[in-house]
Structure 1
Amino acid sequence: MIIIRKSLALSGLILCLLAGMLPMLKVPIKGNWNLYQTDTALFFITYMIIGITALLFFVRQLTGYRLMTRVAAVWYLISISAVFFKINNYFGWGFADRLLSKSIHMRWGWIVYLVGIALLLLSVKKVKQIEE
């Protein structure tokens, strides 16, 4: 039997939804970029995964919700590594990439997104059912 802690799930969903609007990268001259400005495909896939997770939570499809929380966690790892590698190998030239990687920095939006994903993962608990 799967148990969902609703307060953790709702706060995790809200944090994940807000994290896309928070600053994810600090770009010189242009300022802070959120997830949409960083990469639009990454933004839409992230919000699609979070939207499906929220839908499964609200219709009480517990096994699907549990699966989507794990998919969201894997997608977080893929997205942060993709942004990191894009920063460090943007042009394909050694000098320009080293200069760019020193000037672009990750911002605190990734931490908020990580906390939201952690709350989603902690909201699901599988319990063995005792038969009488």
Structure 2
Amino acid sequence: MTSKNYLGLFGSLLVVAGAMSPMVHVPIVGNWNFWDLHTGMASVVYVLAGLGVLASVSGRNGLLKFAGWAEVILILLTLLAVYLKVNDSFSFIPFKKLAKAAAGLVKYRWLGWSLLAAGSLIMIIASGRGSRKTDS
């Protein structure tokens, strides 16, 4: 295995670690990781991370790049969904300031988000790195 294979493997493992890390802190309930946020999207993230491991071990750069970009898209969609859900969850409160204060109690845990983003970007970088053969 070359260094780019190890880099892709490291990126895939960072994605798994980020998905298992706390991503949102909900008062009284506690910390939620990706699985607690949405099991379907978490399953897709784990499958894509496994695909990234398989691609980096077998040396398939196209598959690794696809897995990395798919992870980026899923992370952005999940971040948007969490933001919209938090701001919509307290819309039943008739007072706007009180609803905004209640939504402000839900805190993002940026370690999980940053590990996911770093892992997927490392997967993309690892798929494009390396020497290219030229005709000479």
> TM-score by structure 1 length?
0.82
**Structure 2: which 5+ runs fail to align?**
none
More helix by percentage? 2
What is the aligned partner in structure 2 of residue 36 from structure 1?
Answer: 35
> TM-score by structure 2 length?
0.80
What is the aligned partner in structure 1 of residue 13 from structure 2?
Answer: 14
Computed over aligned residues only, the root mean square deviation of the Cα atoms, in angstroms, reads 2.3
More strand by percentage? 1
Percent identity, aligned pairs only?
A: 22
Q: Separation in 2 of the partners of 1:14 and 1:109? A: 13
Structure 1 ranges of 4+ moved more than 6 A: none
**Structure 1: which 5+ runs fail to align?**
none
C-alpha change, 1:119 and 1:44, in structure 2 (3 Å) is same
Q: Separation in 1 of the partners of 2:91 and 2:47? A: 31
What secondary structure, in the 3-state scheme, does the structure 2 residue paired with 1:26 have? strand
What is the aligned partner in structure 2 of residue 130 from structure 1?
Answer: 134
Among 105, 108, 121, the alignment partner of 1:106 is 108
Q: Separation in 2 of the partners of 1:4 and 1:89? A: 45
What is the aligned partner in structure 2 of residue 119 from structure 1?
Answer: 122
Give the stretch that moved more between structures: 5-14 or 102-111: 5-14
Give the stretch that moved more between structures: 94-103 or 9-18: 94-103
Aligned residues: 130
